[in-house]
Every structure is written in C-alpha cells, then in structure tokens.
Structure 1
C-alpha cells in the first residue's frame, strides 16, 4: 500500500512537472517598447528633422522678418508682410508634407526592423506603448525599449 502510494505520488509529480514544462515552453515571449521614445531616439528621425529644404525656407522667412523690422516705409512693410505671410504658409505646407512622408518612411523602417528584432530575440509579440494606449500596462521586465533602440540604430547606420 505504501509502495503504491509512493509510486502514485512520483507519477503524479512527474506528470505535473511535465505539464508545467510543456506550458512554459508554449508561453509566448512578449516584449514592449515605448514608441514615443523609439521615435525620438531613432537616428533616422533625427536625420529627417534636419531637412535642408525646410532649413533654407526658414532662412528666407527669417530674412523677411529682418527686412520687415528694418523697414520704415509703410508700403514696403505691407509688401514684405504679404511676402512673409505667403512664405510662412508655404513653409508650413512644405513642412507638413515632408513630415507626413517622412513619418511613413520612419514607421515602415521601424516595423521592418521590429520584425527582424523580434525574430532574432525570440519574441512572439512585440508591442508598442504609445499615446494611443495600445498597451495599458506592462511589467518593466518586458520593456525592451533601450535594446530595441540600439538595434534599430545599428541597422539604420548599416543600411545607409
């Protein structure tokens, strides 16, 4: 009787260990990244923010401001003000269009690198924590933001 009880206990314990091991293996590895931080620290984002076309346009607007302040004639000031308003509007349109196009490129690149990162690190799921609240809460041990930023910046530098 004692022998049967011990044998049954060993079998049950072995089964429990086996089941636990199977469940452990099948649990997906999940990580998340702070997407706002990724976007701010991704070198491609920084490169795009230093767009030469926008910079040149901004210099023209600044020059018009200086001309406006230096002018004493009302007619000249009116003409400069009209030019300034037109140039500022054009700058805003150019800036918005470029930012929209560039954000699409950045997001596409981050997604591509994210897939590679997930595959190389064994993540079944890599979530983005952002203002849209796609992740409401997460254990900080699953936060791989810094590692992800390092990975995508190295990839970006290598892809240029």
Structure 2
C-alpha cells in the first residue's frame, strides 16, 4: 500500500514538473536584446546636426567680431609706435590699447564660456530626445533591452545581428521631423 502511494506521489510530481516545464517553454516570450552605436546615432541625428550648425554659426560670428577688434588693436599699436613716448597723445593711445586688449581677453573668455554652456545644453537636449525615441522604438518593437555602445568599453562586442543602430537613426529622425 505504501508503495502505491509512493508511486502515485512520484508520478504526480513528475507530471507536475513536466507540465510546469511545458507551460514555461510554450508561453514564455523570447527576450529581445539589441544595441546601438551611440556615436553614430548622435552624429546622424537631425537635432544634433541642427545644434552643431547653430554652434558653428555662433562661433563664426564671435570670431569675426574678435578678429575685427584685433585689427583695431593692431592699428592702435601702430599709432602707439609712431607717437612720441611721454606725449599726451601717447598716453591716450596707450590707454586705448590697454582697454582694447582687456576687452578682447574678456570677450574671448566670455564667448568660450557661453559656447560651453550652449554645448552642454544642446548635448543634454540631444541625449534626452535620443533616450525618449529609443524607449519608444523599443516599446513599439517589444525589445526587453536596448544597450548603448559608446566605444568606451561598455559593450566590448556585439553581433551585427543585434545591432539596430541604422534602424534607430531612421526612427529618431522620422520622429523628430514629425514623419511618424
């Protein structure tokens, strides 16, 4: 009698185990994992290109302005070299030279700080947008995990089969441009 209970218990345990394995294998959805090359995404993202053009235009304007001030400073230095040392005009020209030089240095530093702040702001906005778009992409396509490969050792290797960089670039640019 005890043997029968033992065999029934053993059989029902085995049957439960087989059923549990069957249910897990049958109904478990596969985990989708992919990665993107962050550098390429940033470089090819239209918002990045727009911001890069803004920064370059701003730096160009600043350079033109500083160059014109430097030309003016050169002119003042030439005048200073032509005037007599100790004369009233010499002291006025010398004061003008010092003032221009100080102003050029101040503006150069202010422009550099402004450009760095602009770059930081733009980078933050670009990364925020990319993260939102990648999250949206992942949810729409049922990814469990999308990793970012930065080239800094975060992901040492990734098969090209799970590299979705090009798809992400197309998706985020379409989303950014309102084409989705």
Which TM-score band (shorter chain)? 0.7 to 0.9
TM-score (norm 1): 0.74
Q: Is the radius of gyration larger for structure 1 or structure 2?
A: 2
Tell me the distance in 2 between the aligned counterparts of 1:41 and 1:108. Answer: 15
Aligned pairs for 1:11-160 within 5 A? 22=25, 26-51=29-54, 53-71=58-76, 72-74=78-80, 75=94, 76-158=96-178
Structure 2 gaps of 5+ residues are 1-17, 81-93
Q: Which runs of 4+ in 1 moved over 6 A?
A: none
Tell me the distance in 2 between the aligned counterparts of 1:112 and 1:30. Answer: 18
Q: 1:95 to 1:151 in 2, by over 3 A?
A: same
SS at match of 1:158: coil
The RMSD of aligned alpha carbons is 2.8
Tell me the distance in 2 between the aligned counterparts of 1:151 and 1:110. Answer: 10
Count of paired positions: 142
Tell me the distance in 2 between the aligned counterparts of 1:86 and 1:119. Answer: 50
Structure 1 gaps of 5+ residues are 1-14
TM-superposition CA deviations, 1:110-135 (whole Å, max 9, x none): 11101111112221111110044321
